[in-house]
A and B are shown apart, each in its own frame.
Chain A
Amino acid sequence: TQLLEQSPQFLSIQEGENLTVYCNSSSVFSSLQWYRQEPGEGPVLLVTVVTGGEVKKLKRLTFQFGDARKDSSLHITAAQPGDTGLYLCAGYNTDKLIFGTGTRLQVFP
């Protein structure tokens, strides 16, 4: 079973702080995706990283794929209350999308 472990599990910070969420596996993935989910809704795709060492930026969010394609990170600069939500990494195991354990982020004003 390919497991995607995320850390930290919970993160509670003040507006304006920076944070990093990690997604780690012992398996190699051809690509990894990051999603954000708000309560009562389905997850929404933020980014897909496909090349080892790749860095993608989405406004204040920076995503990195590890060189060995076993891990990824999400860095948020100057977090805002609107960033609050459940962040999920996910990778494909054959044709099935497997989700990470999740990181619940709360940003206080």
Chain B
Amino acid sequence: GAVVSQHPSRVICKSGTSVKIECRSLDFQATTMFWYRQFPKQSLMLMATSNEGSKATYEQGVEKDKFLINHASLTLSTLTVTSAHPEDSSFYICSAYTGGGDYSNQPQHFGDGTRLSIL
């Protein structure tokens, strides 16, 4: 089955540090990947859509200069949280679907998430 790998699984760092999270599709190519943020005991909130070879599309209220997304290849998207502060602490999850055809009937394949803690 389609596997999405996310790395690292957990990051603890000091305020002001920039943190990069990687999302890889291991056995399929993903022209589109998605980044979600999840606060404790809450649902997933879509942050941005990452498109291979082009700029990411950010959801309303998400700072594109704060959350830098790069989708340099068909199997890798990265999310960089720049100058992270304690309020950026959250669970970040990426996903991808194999694409093609009617996306609405295709499952999203999710990574296992990255727990980011800013001290």
Contacts and interface: CB of A to CB of B under 8 A. Distances in A.
* Size range of the chain A interface in the assembly: 20 to 34
B107 A48 contact: yes
* Size range of the chain B interface in the assembly: 20 to 34
A42 B107 contact: no
A7 interface: no
Given A48-B105, A88-B44, A102-B42, A42 B93 contact: yes
Nearest to A88: B43
Nearest to A47: B107
B80 interface: no
Q: Is the interface of A mostly helix, strand, loop or mixed?
A: strand
Interface of B: 4, 6, 9, 32, 34, 36, 41-46, 49, 91, 93, 95, 103-105, 107-108, 110-113, 115
